[in-house]
Amino acid sequence: MGLHMRLEGVDTPLTDTSRHVLGMPHLCPSGLSENWLWKEVGHRHWGLIAKAFGRAKAGFGPTGEPPVYAAFRRISLEGGNLGGVRENSALDVRSTITHLSETRVISRHVAACQDRLVADVAMTSVFVRRQTEGVNRSIARVRVESRGHAMSAFETPPSQPSGTDHVFLGHAMGANERELGIMIIEPCPYLDFNGAGLLYFSSFVAAVDRVEWHLLGKHSGLFATRERRALFHANIEVGDCLTVRMLASGDEATCCHRALLSTPDGKLLAEVITQRSQYKER
C-alpha cells in the first residue's frame, strides 16, 4: 500500500478488527441488517482516518475554523451473503485503509462468519466542509494536509458521474432497464441525519429500500442483498424531500434495480445500484 501523504508514526497499513455476537440490533427478517452494517463500517472508516491523523478528539480541521468532514463519495458491497447469519452468530469484521491522500480515503471491510464471507465492502470518502454555516447545499471539497490544515480543493463537489463511473448512468435509462415507479421520501431529522446535520449516507440506501419494498417486496417476498453500489453527489437540508426513481432489470428470481435520488427540482443527489436474491429460510 502506498500512502499519498506522510503521516507521523504510520508506515504500515492501518487495520482494525472486531467481533460482534449478533442480536436483535444487528439482524432483520432476512439475516444481517444491511443498514446496521453500513453504519458500523462507516464508523470504522472514520475511526481509521482519525487514527491516521492522530486527531480523534479535535477532528480533521484546525481549531477555530469550520469543521471538516469525511463525506462518502462511493460505497460498494460485494459477495453478499447477509442471509447466512443467525442470532448469536459471531461476525468478524476486519477493516483496512487501502488509500490515504490529502483529498481522498479508501477503506475495505471484510465481514465473515465462521470463515464464510458475509460481505466485502469498499468505501471512498472525500474531505468536505460547509462554505456557509448551517447550509448543507454549500458543502465543498477541501484538501487536508497531514497536520489537519484544510485548503480549498474544488469550489463544489462534482454533481454528475465522471468518466470512471461507467456503471452509473445518471438520469439516462439503460437499454435493459424498465421504469418501476417514483416515490417521494421525507427524511426525519431524528432518524436519517447524522450528528453533523447531514443526511447520513446509510439513509440514502434506506430510502431506496423503502421504495423497493413498496414497489417490489410486498408482491414477491423478502430478498437478501448480494451486491450494492452507491455514488453520492450532494446533500440536502433538514426538511427537504427525496424523489426516488427506480429502474429495474432482471427476472423474478432476482431483484436488480438502479435508483436515482434527486431533489424535487431534479438535482441528482445519489445513484444506488442493487442486486438481490430471493431469501430462503434455512
192 and 255 assigned to the same domain: yes
CB atoms near residue 87 (< 10 Å)? 10
Q: Is the pLDDT of residue 204 over 50?
A: yes
180 and 95 assigned to the same domain: no
- Give the CATH number for residue 128: 3.10.129.10
125 and 201 assigned to the same domain: no
Q: Which residue has the cell 502506498?
A: 2
115 and 166 assigned to the same domain: no
pLDDT bin (cut points 50, 70, 90) of residue 174 is confident
* pLDDT tens-place string over residues 104-135: 999 999 999 999 999 999 999 999 999 999 99
Q: Which residue would you say has higher pLDDT here, 100 or 33?
A: 33
Q: Which residue has the cell 421520501?
A: 185
* pLDDT tens-place string over residues 189-198: 999 999 999 9
The grid coordinates of residue 132 equal: 456557509
139 and 14 assigned to the same domain: yes
| 210, 259 contact by CB (below 8 A) | no
Q: Is the pLDDT of residue 11 over 80?
A: no
pLDDT at site 71: 95
* pLDDT tens-place string over residues 224-244: 889 999 999 999 999 999 999
- The total domain count for the chain is 2
pTM: 0.86
Spatial distance between the Cα atoms of 132 and 111, rounded to a whole number of angstroms: 39
* pLDDT tens-place string over residues 49-75: 988 877 655 456 666 778 889 999 999
Could you tell me which residues come within 8 angstroms of residue 195 by beta carbon, excluding any fewer than 6 positions away? Answer: none
Look at residue 188 and give its three-state secondary structure: coil
Structural domain span for residue 93: 1-157
C-alpha angle with apex 199: 198 to 200, nearest 5 degrees? 100
217 and 141 assigned to the same domain: no
